[in-house]
Amino acid sequence: MLSVKNIEVTYLNVIRVIHGISLDVPDGAVVALLGANGAGKSTTLKAISGLLHVEEGKVSDGSIYWCETRIDNKSPEDIGRLGIVQALEGRRIFQHLTVEENLTVGAFNRQGRKEVKQDLEMVYHYFPRIKDLRKNTAGYLSGGEQQMVVIGRAMMADPKMMLLDEPSLGLAPMLVEEIYEIIKRFNQEQKTSVLIVEQNVRVALSIADYGYVLENGRIVLDGTAEFLKNNEDVKEFYIGLSAAGAKKSYRDLKHYKRRKRWL
C-alpha cells in the first residue's frame, strides 16, 4: 500500500538527515519505525505526509508511492485526501475548543453530516472516556486524555492509513497499554493500516506485524515483530536487557557501541 524507496531528506538544501531508507507498509498492517531520539523517525513520517516543506525540508532523492501513485511531490492537502492522516508528536490539540469540536476538525475534508456523526460515535466507542468529556475545553484535559483526542481526530478523517508519532510520549505505562490496545482494535476492525513511530520498542512491537530500526537516518535492521523482540541487539540496545535477561545501565559504560554489522 505504501512504499518508501531509497529516500533522502535534506533541510535548507544542505543538511541531509535521512540517508537512503526504504520501507513498506502492506494493506491492513501495523508497522513500527523504531529508534532513539534524533534517529530521523519523525522526519520520515513528515516526508510521507508532505509536511517537510513547513520546516524547509524536502525529499531530495528517492520516491514515495501510495497505491502506485507517487506522492513525494504532492502537497499535504492532496496526500490527506488520499487517506494518509498523521497524528503529530506532542498532542497538538486546539486547546480553546471543546473535545467534540477538536474531533470534528478531523472531518473538515469530508462530505456528509450523517457519516461524520456516525464516525463521531465510533470514536466515542473506542474512547468512552472522552465521550464523557466531549463538552469540556480540551486544554484542561490530562495528557492521556489529550492523546486520545489526537488519535480520535485522526480517526475522524476516515483514514486508509494513520501515521502515529510517539503516541506513548509522556504517558503512564497503564495508559500506554490502553491506547495501544485501542490502536490495534481500530486496525483490525476498520482495516486501517498504521505506521507507528516509537522509542518505546516493547509496546510498539506488542501490536506491530513488522518493524524497522532506524539509526542516524539509516535503516539498520528490519524484520517481523517476533524476530525483533527476540533479537539480542534490539533487546540490549533498545529494551535494556542483556543476553542473560538482566536489566543494564549504560551510565558508566564507556565501551558502549553498536556491533560492527550495525554500522
Read off the pLDDT band of 169 (50, 70, 90): confident
Statement to judge: residues 171 and 65 lie in one domain: yes
Read off the pLDDT band of 178 (50, 70, 90): very high
Statement to judge: residues 239 and 169 lie in one domain: yes
Could you read off the pLDDT of 57-93 as tens digits, one per residue?
A: 999 999 999 998 999 989 999 999 999 999 988 778 8
Statement to judge: residues 139 and 202 lie in one domain: no
**Residues 6+ away with beta carbon under 8 Å from 175:** 144
The verdict on residue 88 lying in a domain is no
Statement to judge: residues 41 and 54 lie in one domain: yes
- Cell numbers linked to 141: 484535559
Statement to judge: residues 147 and 228 lie in one domain: no
What DSSP element (H or E) covers 153?
A: helix 143-155
Residue 243's pLDDT is: 55
Whether 153 shows a pLDDT value over 50: the answer reads yes
* Angle 64-68-72 from CA coordinates, rounded to 5°: 25
Cα–Cα distance, 7 to 15 (Å, whole number): 14
- Mean pLDDT in residue range 33-51: 93
CB 57 within 8 A of CB 46: yes
**Which residue range is the domain that position 115 belongs to?**
94-158
- List the CATH number of the domain containing 210: 3.40.50.300
Residue 109's pLDDT is: 75
Residue with cell 536487557: 241
Q: How many residues does the chain have?
A: 263
Least confident of 8-12, 16-20, 58-62, 91-95: 91-95
The verdict on residue 89 lying in a domain is no
Read off the pLDDT band of 246 (50, 70, 90): low
Statement to judge: residues 165 and 69 lie in one domain: yes
The residue from 136, 158, 180 where one domain ends is 158
Whether 142 shows a pLDDT value over 80: the answer reads yes
Statement to judge: residues 132 and 193 lie in one domain: no
Statement to judge: residues 140 and 169 lie in one domain: no
The residue from 117, 141, 158 where one domain ends is 158
Q: What is the pTM of this model?
A: 0.88
**DSSP3 helix / strand / coil % (the chain, rounded to 5):** 40, 25, 35
Per the structure, the count of domains in the chain is 2
Could you read off the pLDDT of 200-221 as tens digits, one per residue?
A: 899 999 999 999 999 999 999 9
Residue 47's pLDDT is: 96
Statement to judge: residues 148 and 164 lie in one domain: no
- Cell numbers linked to 211: 518493524
